[in-house]
Structures are given as C-alpha cells and as structure tokens.
C-alpha cells in the first residue's frame, strides 16, 4: 500500500494530486500534502543554511 514516506498516512489507491513524489537514491517516495509543505520548507531551510 502507498503511504506517506514521512508520516505514514496511507493513500487510498493512487496518490492524491496534492501529494508530492520525489525520487531519492533511486527510491520513489510520496509525501502527503502536509508533509510536502514541510518538506519544501526543509529544503528551503537547507538552502538557506548554506549561506550562513
Ligand atoms: Zn505525511
């Protein structure tokens, strides 16, 4: 079954369009809409921290 890679929320069948799919190390991972937002913030935070 398809679940959110971060919080484990199960998707009913195909991932909803609000979910984000990202490929990390050749593994396809899905993030629910909530985690997608937090994930984007984390990515942006990582980019920001590079400037410190
Ligand atoms: Zn999630």
Neighbours of ion ligand 1 (CB under 5 A): 4, 6-7, 9, 32, 35
SS3 state at 39: helix
Q: Name, in order, each residue with C-beta under 8 angstroms of 48's C-beta and a sequence gap of 6 or more.
A: none
Distance 2 CA to ligand 1 centre (A): 11
Distance 52 CA to ligand 1 centre (A): 29
Distance 27 CA to ligand 1 centre (A): 17
Distance from C-alpha of 4 to C-alpha of 27, rounded to nearest angstrom:
13
Per-residue pLDDT tens over the stretch 1-52:
889 999 999 988 888 889 988 887 898 888 899 999 888 887 777 766 555 5
Supply angle C-alpha 32, 37, 40, rounded to 5: 115
pLDDT attached to residue 32: 92
Q: Name, in order, each residue with C-beta under 8 angstroms of 43's C-beta and a sequence gap of 6 or more.
A: none
User: Strand (E) positions, 1-52?
Assistant: 20-24, 27-31
């Amino acid at each position: 079954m398809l679940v959110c890679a971060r919080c484990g929320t199960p998707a009913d069948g195909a991932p909803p369009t609000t979910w984000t799919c990202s490929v990390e190390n050749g593994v396809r991972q899905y993030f629910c809409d909530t985690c997608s937002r937090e994930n984007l913030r984390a990515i942006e935070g990582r980019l920001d921290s590079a400037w410190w």
